[in-house]
């Protein structure tokens, strides 16, 4: 398996594009994206657990209830959430695209991201459909990734090549997500494409299993979005024998999917609103996986710990504090904590108590962009990883006037 270029267009039969249609005031920013498969594809998705859900999620869930889709349309700048006519607008987006592409309306995945509670005008989208379709390209992943961005500062895309039954297969993804990120299903908006042949049932099983250890372990600010969705399309054009059950090929597919999603997790966490650092909390020695996950997620979600990381302050007490209120069944007198980065590693706590360490060296370690928080529980063999970012002044500035 190897990382390759191409994003969502790396897989055979997929093209993508993105344009500025006029939803966003800034004409220099794309605000409408399209992903298209040359053939109908197996489809799977996971959705936000927030009771307030964007209209596009409701429409998409109905559309892919048969397990298939062929295109994805997504706008940025407006979430189409809490709107009286939201379902109607989402359906219109689907209808306009299906008519233009000559595909079934039910084979369209619809997504929106941006401000909640503002009406979404269908006119710029309708007017932009011809140009959107014209923008489709084998090299269009980059433009599609830009078109789904809101407060993101960088595009997020990745692709890998792997083998199934002697056939070269590819899987790629793009994502948006910078703030309002604290999922318990999937995350933000993530679109994944693959030319591997896999049944809708096994594709859904793969996605649902993967997100438990990837997107569900990412937190930027503790807020679960109303529009979070992860969608995977698998068109089978690689020519491998279709995956219909567990086995070697399914395990290889899962490994490839996980490589893509793990990469996107790191990109999302590292690009949190106002963030200057990617935080990766690695918990080992837990009595079971759930305990490890609970501890890792609690630490990565701690506002006090996130603020300390922003200030490059090795305040390890905040790590123990977050573990203590996590609800996890741990022996606090066994916990070891270390901080690690490209500058090195420094132990700061052993058996639940502080030890002498160099504050100067610790600061050097914590001034790096990528920080690992290492926690050893000494109670078993289970482990887990969670991703997040530091909490900065800029986060408050961004969200203080996000709407206006």
Percentage of residues of the chain with pLDDT beyond 70: 95
* Distance, first Cα to last Cα, the chain: 46
**130 and 255 share one domain:** yes
Residue 178 has pLDDT above 70, yes or no: no
**Residue 186: per-residue pLDDT:** 35
DSSP string covering 189-216 = EEEEEE-S-B-HHHHHHHHHHHHTTTGG
Distance CA 94, CA 157 (A): 24
Tens digit of pLDDT for each residue in 30-69?
A: 999 999 999 999 999 998 777 778 899 999 999 999 999 9
CATH of the domain at 304: 3.10.20.340
Cα 20 to Cα 24, 103, 116, 200, 306: the distances in Å are 8, 24, 20, 33, 35
**Residue 228: per-residue pLDDT:** 79
**Residue 150: per-residue pLDDT:** 83
**Residue 274: per-residue pLDDT:** 76
**143 and 216 share one domain:** yes
Distance CA 324, CA 332 (A): 8
pTM, two decimals, is 0.85
**6 and 139 share one domain:** yes
Domain enclosing residue 253, as ranges: 2-270
CB 230, CB 218: distance < 8 Å: no
**260 and 292 share one domain:** no
**246 and 288 share one domain:** no
State the pairing for strand pair 278-286/382-389: antiparallel
Query: Per the structure, how many domains does the chain have?
Result: 2
**198 and 292 share one domain:** no
Residue 386 has pLDDT above 50, yes or no: yes
List, by residue number, the catalytic residues: 187
């Amino acid at each position: 398996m190897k990382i390759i270029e191409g994003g969502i267009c790396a897989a055979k039969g997929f093209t993508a594009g993105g344009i500025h249609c006029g939803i966003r005031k800034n004409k220099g920013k794309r605000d409408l994206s399209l992903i298209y498969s040359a053939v109908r594809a197996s489809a799977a998705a996971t959705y936000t657990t927030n009771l307030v859900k964007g209209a596009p999620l409701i429409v998409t869930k109905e559309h892919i209830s048969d397990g298939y889709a062929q295109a994805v349309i997504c706008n940025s700048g407006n979430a189409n959430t809490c709107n009286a006519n939201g379902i109607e607008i989402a359906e219109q987006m689907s209808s306009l695209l299906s008519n233009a592409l000559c595909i079934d309306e039910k084979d369209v995945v619809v997504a929106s991201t941006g401000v909640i509670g503002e009406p979404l005008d269908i006119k710029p989208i309708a007017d932009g459909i011809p140009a959107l379709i014209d923008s489709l390209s084998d090299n269009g992943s980059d433009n599609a990734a830009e078109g789904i961005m809101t407060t993101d500062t960088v595009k997020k895309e990745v692709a890998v090549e792997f083998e199934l039954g002697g056939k070269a297969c590819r899987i790629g993804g793009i994502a948006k997500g910078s703030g309002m990120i604290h999922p318990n299903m999937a995350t933000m908006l993530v679109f994944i494409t693959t030319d591997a042949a896999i049944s809708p049932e096994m594709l859904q099983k793969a996605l649902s299993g993967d997100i438990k250890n990837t997107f569900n372990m990412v937190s930027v600010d503790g807020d679960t979005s109303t529009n979070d969705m992860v969608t995977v399309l698998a068109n089978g054009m690689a020519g491998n024998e279709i995956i219909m059950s567990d086995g070697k090929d399914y395990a290889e597919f899962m490994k490839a999917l996980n490589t893509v999603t793990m990469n996107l997790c790191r990109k999302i966490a590292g690009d949190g609103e106002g963030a200057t650092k990617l935080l990766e909390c690695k918990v080992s020695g837990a009595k079971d996986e759930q305990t490890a996950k609970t501890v890792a997620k609690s630490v990565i979600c701690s506002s006090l710990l996130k603020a300390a990381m922003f200030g490059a302050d090795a305040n390890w007490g905040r790590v123990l504090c977050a573990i203590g209120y996590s609800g996890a069944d741990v022996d606090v007198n066994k916990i070891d904590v270390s901080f690690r980065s490209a500058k090195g590693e420094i132990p700061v706590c052993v058996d639940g108590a502080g030890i002498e360490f160099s504050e100067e060296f610790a600061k050097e370690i914590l001034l790096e962009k990528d920080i690992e928080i290492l926690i050893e529980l000494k109670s078993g063999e289970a482990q887990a990883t969670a991703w997040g970012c530091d909490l900065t002044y800029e986060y408050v500035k961004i969200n203080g006037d996000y709407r206006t």
